[in-house]
Amino acid sequence: MFSKTSQYTLRALVYILLENSKGRNPGFREIAREIDSPAEFTGKILQDLARKKIVSSAKGKHGGFFLTEAQRQISLRTIIEHIEGENIFQSCGFGLKYCDAANPCPLHEEYATIREQLQQYMNSHTISHLAFQTDGQRIYLKREAL
Amino acid sequence: MFSKTSQYTLRALVYILLENSKGRNPGFREIAREIDSPAEFTGKILQDLARKKIVSSAKGKHGGFFLTEAQRQISLRTIIEHIEGENIFQSCGFGLKYCDAANPCPLHEEYATIREQLQQYMNSHTISHLAFQTDGQRIYLKREAL
DNA sequence: TTTAAAAAAGACATTAATATCTTTTTAAAA
DNA sequence: TTTTAAAAAGATATTAATGTCTTTTTTAAA
């Protein structure tokens, strides 16, 4: 349901945070290799996210990408909204510009409920939540096959 | 979250069913006008759906589109899957090919739950459910502004 | 101060989604 | 049997998403 760009973004940011916590700032080639995404395209995405202050970057030798403490607090919702647009979590399932409880499209009720749940989750979780799961599961960012 | 094609499809099919129940088989130009979608493109979509037996069509004078009794029983899920592909309701939010309860992506748990709900709803509802709401709400298919 | 390694920027290429236009086929009715 | 109104088919255009390649800028270290 999310675009490739959103998926690469989430995978990349989780990888960056995991490496940061080992004291490393990975470059985009390494990131792309480890999350299995096209390198140059991933570079472009990160460049974009850096412009939007969602991730930080350092140029030059020993440069790379990293998340500041503040950036680790950014909600998944904010991140995704920067990519997919402001109303990804509000837009009508039927594609109507104006669709609300008073004047609903035929899909409104159920769709709104489900959409709200996703929004709620994305609102209350961060890249840190994704990177440091409490259930001890190992993190898969790359797996193409078993 | 659904593509334009899926949105036009749902709107068009609801309109067709509403007109059918008045004894009419609308043509694609009328449909497009009433659901506010690009006419030729809507024609193409309906042509496609007709090939896939999701909607029926009659050529020639007094031709148009209609839903048979059997077609009125097709689930929204089946319809959407024909457009978006078989695994729209199963695919991983992170974009990983293999992602399951045993080897989950960081987003798996919550995302799977929400996705299941949408799937469940689409599985158990049809165009008839959308067209003939029980709550007496009037149906908006076109509304661009209030 | 030169070199090396990194992101940033810019230009371009490819693919998929969306959209339009024209011609052909079909079938009902005049 | 001709006319008319419809879908079907085919060709093409446009736009947005995805992806690649090359050059420039920046910074640390040798």
Summarised one tens digit per residue, pLDDT across range B18-57 is 999 999 999 999 999 999 999 999 999 999 999 999 999 9
CB-nearest to B110 from A121, A141, A144 is A121
| Residue scoring higher pLDDT (B65 or B137) | B65
**A144 contacts B97? CB cut-off 8 A:** yes
A35 belongs to a structural domain = yes
Integer Cα distance of A44 and A100 in angstroms: 37
B32 belongs to a structural domain = yes
Mean pLDDT value of segment B127-145: 85
Reading the block at residue A21, the tokens are: 């916590």
Provide the shortest C-alpha distance from residue A62 to chain B (in Å). Answer: 29
Integer Cα distance of B13 and B6 in angstroms: 11
**Nearest nucleic acid nucleotide to B32, CA to C1' distance:** C19
Residues of A in contact with B95 (CB under 8 A): 2, 4, 7-8, 11
Mean pLDDT value of segment A98-116: 89
Q: Is the CB of A115 under 7 A from strand C?
A: no
CB-nearest to A1 from B8, B93, B141 is B93
State whether residue A128 sits within 8 Å of chain B by CB.
no
Residues of B in contact with A105 (CB under 8 A): 140-141
A40 belongs to a structural domain = yes
- Residue A146 — very low, low, confident or very high, per pLDDT cuts 50/70/90? low
A96 belongs to a structural domain = no
Mean pLDDT value of segment A137-143: 84
Q: How many domains does chain A have?
A: 1
Exposure string of B31-69, with b = 16+ CB inside 10 Å and e = fewer, is bbebbbbeeeebbebbeebeeeebbbbeeeeeebbbbee
Strands A56-58 and A64-66, by their bridges, are antiparallel
Summarised one tens digit per residue, pLDDT across range B97-131 is 888 888 888 888 889 999 999 999 999 999 999 99
Confidence at residue A145, expressed as pLDDT on a 0 to 100 scale: 62
| Residue scoring higher pLDDT (B96 or A135) | B96
Mean pLDDT value of segment B52-65: 97
CB contacts < 8 Å between A and B, how many?
A: 109
User: CA of B59 vs C1' of D6, distance in Å?
Assistant: 5
A14 belongs to a structural domain = yes
Confidence at residue A43, expressed as pLDDT on a 0 to 100 scale: 98
Confidence at residue B145, expressed as pLDDT on a 0 to 100 scale: 64
Confidence at residue A141, expressed as pLDDT on a 0 to 100 scale: 92
A76 belongs to a structural domain = yes
Query: For residue A119, is pLDDT > 60?
Result: yes
Confidence at residue A45, expressed as pLDDT on a 0 to 100 scale: 98
Provide the shortest C-alpha distance from residue B61 to chain A (in Å). Answer: 31
Q: What are phi and psi of B56, to 5 degrees?
A: -110, 155
DSSP string, chain B: ---HHHHHHHHHHHHHHHHHTTT----HHHHHHHHT--HHHHHHHHHHHHHTTSSEEE-STT-EEE--TTGGG-BHHHHHHHHH-TTTTT--TT--SS--SSS--TTHHHHHHHHHHHHHHHHT-BHHHHHS-TT-PPP-SS-S--
State whether residue A23 sits within 8 Å of chain B by CB.
no
A55 belongs to a structural domain = yes
Q: Is the CB of A12 under 7 A from strand C?
A: no
pTM reported for the whole predicted model: 0.94
Q: What domain range is A59 assigned to? A: 4-85+126-132
State whether residue B144 sits within 8 Å of chain A by CB.
yes
- How many alpha carbons lie under 13 Å from residue A76 in its C-beta half-sphere? 26
A63 belongs to a structural domain = yes
Protein-contacted bases of chain D (C-beta within 7 A): 4-11, 17-22, 25-29
**A117 contacts B114? CB cut-off 8 A:** yes
Mean pLDDT value of segment A29-49: 98
Q: Domain of A52: which CATH number?
A: 1.10.10.10
**A104 contacts B137? CB cut-off 8 A:** yes
